[in-house]
Structure formats: C-alpha cells, structure tokens
Amino acid sequence: MSDTAGNQQVEKRKIGRPKKNSNSSHNSISTPVTMQKQQDSSETLPKTQNEIKLPTDKLSTQDWARELSDDSNLPHIELTKPKSDKEEPEITSQRKDTLVDKASVTTPISAKTNNHVSNQEQLIKVPTTIHIVDGEKGGAGKSFVSRGLIEYCASIKHKVAIVDADKSNKDISKIYQNVYSAFFSDDDKQVKQADQIFDLAFEKSVIVNLPAQVYSKVTNWIKTNDLDEIGKEYQINFVKWFVCTGGVDSVDFFIKSLNDLGDRVTHVFVKNLGLCDEWDYVQEMPDFITAKENHKFIEMDFPKFPFWERNVIDRLGITFESALVHPELKVISKQRVKNFLKEAHAAFAQTGLVK
C-alpha cells in the first residue's frame, strides 16, 4: 500500500508573498512559591539550608576514619561555619530562596486562584514540625541541644530552617550557615517577627533556639493565635524540647509548660546529663508524678559532652562534625566527639519525632 502523504503535492508559494513562519513559542507556567527572595546585590545565600559543606582541613574525613581504624555507623553530615555574621538573614515573609523544598511544596490546587487567598492557603504540603528548644532558665543548655538537633537532622538528610531567637548570644548564628533571626515580643507592632516562624513551616520543618525568660511570650503567641489549631489544618506540628538542668525550679517550669500547653504541643523532657547525672529524685517528685499521670510527654537523655573538647569547639566556632577532622583535636579527643554524636543521634532517633 502506498503512502498517501507521499502522493500529496506540495503547494507552490506564490511569488511576492512572504513565507509564513511556522515556528511557534510556548509560554511556560511557573509554579508560584510562598515566599519571594529579597534582592540584595551585596550578599548571596547558599543553595540549601542545611546542605552545608565542611571547611577544608588538613585531615580529611577518610583520613580520620583510617586514623581511628573504626568504620563507624555514624552518618556523615556536612555542616560549615559562615564567613561572617553579616551573612545572617532576617526572617521575612517576602523570601523565596533555598528554604523551598520542592518535595513538600507542590503546584497550587487551581491555576485560577482567588486574589483574596494567600499562596500559603493554595499549597498542598507534607507535614512539617516547628521544633521549639526551650528551658526558660539561662545556662540550661538550650543552644547545645539545638546544635545537637540541627546536626542530627543533617545526618538523616532532614531539611530544616534554623531560627535563632536568642539575640544576646548568637552562637547558633556564628556556627551554622543561613540562620534566621526572630524574637518574641509583647509589642503588637513587632509581633510579626515571631509569626514568620510559622510561615517558614509551610516549606520545611523549623528549629527555633529560644533565649531565656521568654516563656510567657512564646506561650501567648501559641495560645492567643490558636496556632496549634491552624497547624492541624496545614499539617504543621509543634514539639517543645524542654531542656532541664535537674534543679527543682527547672522541673517546675517544665510542669508549668505542660499545664499551659500540654494538650496543644508535644513535650519532650530533655534531661541534660552534662549538668546533672542523677535524676531519680525527679522521678519521685510528687508534682512530676502527677504531671506524668495527667499529661503524655517523652523523656530523653541528652548525653554529656567532654569539658575540654567542648571548650575547644566553642572557641573555634565549629560544628561537632567539623571537629572530627579539625587538626587541633587529636585522635582521642575526636573519638570522644564521635561517641557523643552517636549517643545524641540515638537519643533523638528514639523519640520518633524527627523523620
């Protein structure tokens, strides 16, 4: 059978008439994103929130592994210190940068959207969590636990936005890359500084390192705005990691938090073993026993970190993972850091709250 298309005659173009252009272009439709990126010609942000590369040291990770002759099961994580404090971005609702996780933010429900509906309300997303590291008292170890949680999330490839709400001691901002600043205030004019922590959770989970003595402000922020109810609608969960020193007043603050937010926010009673290694008396406290009967919460042992190694790491301003390849720490010191990371990661994993 002959090809019918081959029998067709090609129409001759008339002289003097220009040939029509058969090429056509197709306009691409881009998916809107919740937050627009601030334009700043003087600064550029890294590609991802917690895909942070280790600084180059004389001793590589492979050399370190061979040096110890111990192939650990500890996951390798990549974290690094920013070049300067100037790289610290302020939280803004007009951001569109590397915080966007394409796996968790998808195309709007309808291309024809209502102009009165925000982009956030149009998004279909996977569940995220706002991790609040609290403790109320100064020196409880909130920043240290935050660092452990940040590096655990990096080790399991769980993308998070990091928010440092401690304006007086920005050790989180000095160590980790692309950390956001926020603060809690009773001033209505500044309330949106805290609101935007919730905005970030539309794109990925958030870790918030709190300063001391902001308990009432954080509690009011959650309760007066019914954030736990709004969170259920948009699959945003709240977890409070309450770091306890072992003192009676610290335990009392935890019980107060349970009474105020226990039915709204998942609580974790973090026993900081670096400050107290005897917790039996806490289990026998009548108020603590009553709290266990009235509320559901998780107990977690946060391991002690060696004193000398901690001072060195804090002085250098490096991550725990970076310490494993830093030349200033010798073989035994690196092994202590490695053991700490194993224990800390196992403790976070056992809670089942970070996935």
Residue 229 CA to residue 262 CA, distance in Å, equals 14
In a domain, 27, yes or no: no
pLDDT band at 191 (very low <50, low <70, confident <90, very high): confident
**pLDDT per residue as tens digits for the range 280-294:** 999 999 999 999 999
157: left (phi over 0), alpha (psi -120 to 50) or beta: left
Pick from 164, 154, 27, 30: which is nearest to 102 by CA?
Answer: 30
pLDDT of 52: 41
In a domain, 100, yes or no: yes
Residue 45 CA to residue 223 CA, distance in Å, equals 34
On whether the CB atoms of residues 164 and 172 are closer than 8 A, the answer is yes
Looking at per-residue pLDDT, the higher value among 298 and 42 belongs to 298
* Amino acid residing at 330: K
In a domain, 30, yes or no: no
Residue 333 CA to residue 318 CA, distance in Å, equals 15
Between strands 160-164 and 180-181, the pairing is: parallel
Looking at per-residue pLDDT, the higher value among 304 and 138 belongs to 304
**pLDDT per residue as tens digits for the range 223-281:** 999 999 999 999 999 999 999 999 999 999 999 999 999 999 999 999 999 999 999 99
On whether the CB atoms of residues 273 and 302 are closer than 8 A, the answer is yes
As a whole-number percent, the residues of the chain with pLDDT over 90 amount to 58
* Amino acid residing at 70: D
Q: What CATH number is given to the structural domain containing 196?
A: 3.40.50.300
Between strands 205-209 and 236-244, the pairing is: unpaired
H or E stretch at 344? helix 331-351
As a whole-number percent, the residues of the chain with pLDDT over 70 amount to 65
pLDDT of 136: 86
User: Does 8 have pLDDT greater than 50?
Assistant: no
Residue 280 CA to residue 295 CA, distance in Å, equals 20
Question: Residue 319 CB: number of other CB atoms within 10 A?
Answer: 25
Residue 197 CA to residue 166 CA, distance in Å, equals 14
Looking at per-residue pLDDT, the higher value among 98 and 230 belongs to 230
In a domain, 20, yes or no: no
In a domain, 17, yes or no: no
Q: Could you give the number of structural domains in the chain?
A: 1
Residue 160 CA to residue 204 CA, distance in Å, equals 6
pLDDT band at 120 (very low <50, low <70, confident <90, very high): low
Pick from 225, 219, 287: which is nearest to 251 by CA?
Answer: 287
pLDDT of 107: 32
Range of lowest pLDDT (16-20, 28-32, 118-122, 189-193): 28-32
Looking at per-residue pLDDT, the higher value among 174 and 100 belongs to 174
Residue 247 CA to residue 252 CA, distance in Å, equals 9
Pick from 96, 94, 53, 42: which is nearest to 76 by CA?
Answer: 53
pLDDT band at 125 (very low <50, low <70, confident <90, very high): confident
Cα distance from N-terminal residue to C-terminal residue, the chain: 63
pLDDT band at 124 (very low <50, low <70, confident <90, very high): low
Mean pLDDT in residue range 171-184: 92
pLDDT of 118: 61
Question: Residue 165 CB: number of other CB atoms within 10 A?
Answer: 23
In a domain, 43, yes or no: no
Sign (positive or negative) of CA dihedral 278, 280, 286, 290: positive
Q: What is the DSSP letter of 296?
A: -
Mean pLDDT in residue range 150-165: 97
On whether the CB atoms of residues 27 and 21 are closer than 8 A, the answer is no
Range of the domain at 180: 61-108+118-351
In a domain, 132, yes or no: yes
Per the prediction, the chain carries an average pLDDT of 77
Mean pLDDT in residue range 305-331: 96
pLDDT of 206: 98
pLDDT of 122: 59
In a domain, 50, yes or no: no
Pick from 328, 304, 330, 307: which is nearest to 316 by CA?
Answer: 328
User: Does 89 have pLDDT greater than 90?
Assistant: no
Question: CB-side exposure of 115: number of CA atoms within 13 Å?
Answer: 0
Residue 146 CA to residue 132 CA, distance in Å, equals 9
**pLDDT per residue as tens digits for the range 21-80:** 444 444 443 433 333 334 444 344 344 444 444 444 444 444 444 444 454 445 444 554
Strand order in the sheet with 205-209: 180-181, 160-164, 205-209, 128-134, 236-244, 266-272, 298-302
User: Does 94 have pLDDT greater than 50?
Assistant: no
Sign (positive or negative) of CA dihedral 269, 275, 279, 285: negative
